[in-house]
């Protein structure tokens, strides 16, 4: 049973994670606040180390550090860990680069799509060219089979929404 104290502890923990993620998106530059780009924000958060390694292996660092804007549905390390054993290692091999690019670009939508906008959509076309389904349920927002667990992490070139499952394009 979830007691009020336990709920507040969990809520405070989640709020601190969101605050840390948001704070990591801003760096001082010549006295002004400057938001970091999508790749920098992800690299500053240890929960995205697998995603960052995949972005690097796919050769997408320059693209996702570029002007954008992009909306990224970013799977955490735990999301990648849900894939069958050996899948991540296989995808990171140079011979599977195109498959990795296809999967990663399936997590990216052109433009900035904030949470308030996502809930109005039923689908979106990804940079991969394939559509993802979007459903608002009592449990939150679903992107295909993934649940959005954190929304609206603002970056200099877009926005990140954290998801709990890697979404895969149809073969």
Task: Check which CATH number belongs to the domain holding 62 and give it.
Answer: 2.30.180.10
In a domain, 113, yes or no: yes
The pLDDT assigned to 137 comes to 87
Return the ∠ at Cα 158 (arms to 154 and 159), rounded to 5°. 45
pLDDT tens across the length of the chain (171 residues): 333 333 333 333 333 333 334 344 433 333 334 579 999 999 999 999 999 999 999 999 999 999 999 999 999 999 999 999 999 999 999 999 999 999 999 999 999 999 998 888 999 999 999 999 999 988 789 999 999 999 999 999 999 999 999 999 987
Three-class secondary structure of residue 141 per DSSP: strand
Q: What is the pLDDT of residue 29?
A: 38
Per-residue CA distances from 81 to 33, 42, 60, 73, 92 (Å): 35, 17, 21, 16, 14
Number of domains the chain is built from: 1
**pLDDT at site 138:** 83
Whole-number Å distance between alpha carbons of 96 and 50: 16
* Residue 74 within a domain: yes
CB 124 within 8 A of CB 112: no
The pLDDT, as a whole number, for residue 34 is 56
**Whole-model pTM above 0.85?**
no
User: CB-based burial of residue 113 (10 Å sphere; 0-12 exposed, 13-18 middle, 19+ buried)?
Assistant: buried
User: 169 lies in a domain?
Assistant: no
Triad 54, 80, 145: Cα angle to 5°:
115
Tell me if 169 sits within 8 A of 128, measured CB to CB.
Answer: yes
Structural domain of residue 77, as residue ranges? 4-163
């Amino acid at each position: 049973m979830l007691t009020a104290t336990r709920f507040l502890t969990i809520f405070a923990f989640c709020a601190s994670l969101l605050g840390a993620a948001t704070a990591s998106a801003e760096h001082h530059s010549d006295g002004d606040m400057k938001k970091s780009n999508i790749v920098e924000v992800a690299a500053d958060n240890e929960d995205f180390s697998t995603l960052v390694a995949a972005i690097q292996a796919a050769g997408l660092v320059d693209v996702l550090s570029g002007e954008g804007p992009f909306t990224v549905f970013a799977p955490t390390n735990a999301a990648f860990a849900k894939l069958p054993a050996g899948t991540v290692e296989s995808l990171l091999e140079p011979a599977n680069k195109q498959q990795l690019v296809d999967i990663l670009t399936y997590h990216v939508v052109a433009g900035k799509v904030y949470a308030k906008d996502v809930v109005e959509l039923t689908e979106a076309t990804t940079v991969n060219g394939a559509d993802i389904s979007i459903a608002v349920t009592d449990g939150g927002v679903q992107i295909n089979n993934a649940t959005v667990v954190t929304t609206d992490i603002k970056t200099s070139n877009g926005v990140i929404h954290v998801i709990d499952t890697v979404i895969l394009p149809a073969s």
